[in-house]
Amino acid sequence: MIAFWGITLQVAGQKQASSFRDSIPFYFNEIRLAAEEYQALWNRNLYGAMLFVEPRTRELFANEPDTGGVLKPAGDIYVGILPDTENIANTAINWSGKKWAMIMLPLPRDKEVRINLLAHELFHKAQPSLGFTLHNAENNHLDKESGRIYLRLELEALKKAVGSPTSQEQQEHLRNALAFRKYRRLLYSGADTTENLLELNEGIAEFTGEIISGRDKKQAAAHFINGIDKFFGNPTFVRSFAYYTIPVYGYLLYKRNRDWNKEITTSTDLTAYFMDAFNIRVPADLETVTESIAGNYNGETIMKEEAIREEKRKKLVAGYRRRFIEQPHCEIQFEKVSISFDPRNIVPLEDKGSVYPNIRVTDAWGILTVEGGALVAPGWDRILVTNPTGADGKKITGDGWTLELADGYTLEKDEESGNYKVARTGNKP
């Protein structure tokens, strides 16, 4: 299972009131009412089993009982402690006998942001039954200079579209946004497929959250514009861009067709769909067209900023390659893996995989907690960290990582290469 730590930046650092536990039934009821009000969105009520989790203490607050006996009644809610073997994230999980929408505490103070977040995760909980396959496709081209430039230009055009005073202006900005999008995908083979897969997953979930949040037109415009501006400050875009593209296209189309989302499937090409739905055609000579309109969307500044970032990225990638590939390192094969990570700061290393500065992995061999970077190989079959620097029984430590080995596993060193690996006890080469 792959889980995101959460995109909603407004959550971080907020303090809950001392009476938070007393407020939990209110928050459950708040999202229940919102889901009921907008059940026509998917022709079903998305409200269901939910877990609020306090990351420091691993305390659980649920709106339903589990079947494994972990949760105990406490008034109108259920409480317990999440086992260490489970990762904490904003996600949908199968745990203790049922499928849940899990949300990390604290919750956002703003009502619309709070409902948006909870509805997003409730969509993920219902996602398989709605016919949408879970995809977390790699979009490493969005860490490259041109990929970032044309994504930023697309989003700048979407900001103007959502803030347009007339339908004519909105149509012009939508056409330009889709031109930037189409040109970006011409530059990178396969980008149309990988972007679409992530947008069908996270983009549709975030669109769902936006609609159920119930924002009015002015609030929605401010939400999108401010959200995109904050998104531009993320270290990388490769896993988080879908939260900001499809919600805008979807929201603007929802104003014209309340049922558009029911027409798409897991195989829909969203770009083609939106072009048809908005009756937009883009010129064949996209290079010339995008060059001519980039200046309307802060293009000169974006290109200068991305040229500077590209030089820094090359140095960062070179450092990571030395650390995790060229120098001796520790390699751990996945068996039955569950992973949670922050999707905002991933660094692709071309064909070698991607570096995740913060990631937590649970598997048959134990629990790996990384705060100083780890390389996940292509195909998601193994993870690489630096060589260990210390051990206390089954607890192994390295530069920015800790590995708690399960019984039946040990850490072995290959004297010839200097690399370490996790192996089953007694399974010597």
pLDDT at 5: 54
Residue range 77-97, pLDDT digits in tens: 999 999 999 999 999 999 999
Query: For the residues 23-30, what does the mean pLDDT come to?
Result: 96
pLDDT band at 427 (very low <50, low <70, confident <90, very high): low
User: SS3 string of 367-382?
Assistant: EEEECCCEEECCCCCE
pLDDT at 10: 35
Q: pLDDT exceeding 70 applies to what percent of the chain?
A: 94
pLDDT at 359: 97
pLDDT at 19: 57
Residue range 129-176, pLDDT digits in tens: 999 987 777 899 999 999 999 999 999 999 999 999 999 999 999 999
Q: Residue 228's closest CA among 161, 169, 288, 293?
A: 161
pLDDT band at 22 (very low <50, low <70, confident <90, very high): confident
pLDDT at 367: 98
Residue range 97-112, pLDDT digits in tens: 999 999 999 999 999 9
Counting Cα atoms < 13 Å in the Cβ hemisphere of 299 gives 15
N-term to C-term CA, the chain:
30
Q: Are strands 2-4 and 338-341 parallel, antiparallel or unpaired?
A: parallel
Q: What is the mean pLDDT of the chain?
A: 93
For 94, the token pair is 């199968």
Residue range 230-274, pLDDT digits in tens: 999 999 999 999 999 999 999 999 999 999 999 999 999 999 999
Q: Are strands 59-62 and 388-392 parallel, antiparallel or unpaired?
A: unpaired
Mark residue 13 as left, alpha or beta (left: phi above 0; alpha: psi -120 to 50; beta: remaining). Answer: left
Residue range 114-124, pLDDT digits in tens: 999 999 999 99
Is residue 4's pLDDT more than 70?
no
Query: For the residues 208-228, what does the mean pLDDT come to?
Result: 98
**Domain locations in the chain as residue ranges:** 2-130, 140-297, 328-424
pLDDT band at 17 (very low <50, low <70, confident <90, very high): very low
pLDDT at 102: 98
Comparison of pLDDT for 20 and 181, the residue scoring more: 181
β-pair partners for 90: 4
DSSP state of 90: B
Mark residue 10 as left, alpha or beta (left: phi above 0; alpha: psi -120 to 50; beta: remaining). Answer: alpha
Is residue 429's pLDDT more than 50?
no
pLDDT at 232: 98
pLDDT band at 3 (very low <50, low <70, confident <90, very high): low
Instruction: Tell the residue number behind the tokens 């956002």, with chain if given.
Output: 108
DSSP state of 106: S
Residue range 317-374, pLDDT digits in tens: 999 999 999 999 999 999 999 999 998 899 999 889 999 999 999 999 999 999 999 9
Residue range 378-426, pLDDT digits in tens: 989 999 999 999 999 999 999 999 999 999 999 999 999 999 999 999 6
Is residue 7's pLDDT more than 60?
no
Q: Looking at the whole model, is its pTM more than 0.85?
A: yes
Q: pLDDT exceeding 90 applies to what percent of the chain?
A: 91
For 397, the token pair is 């430590």
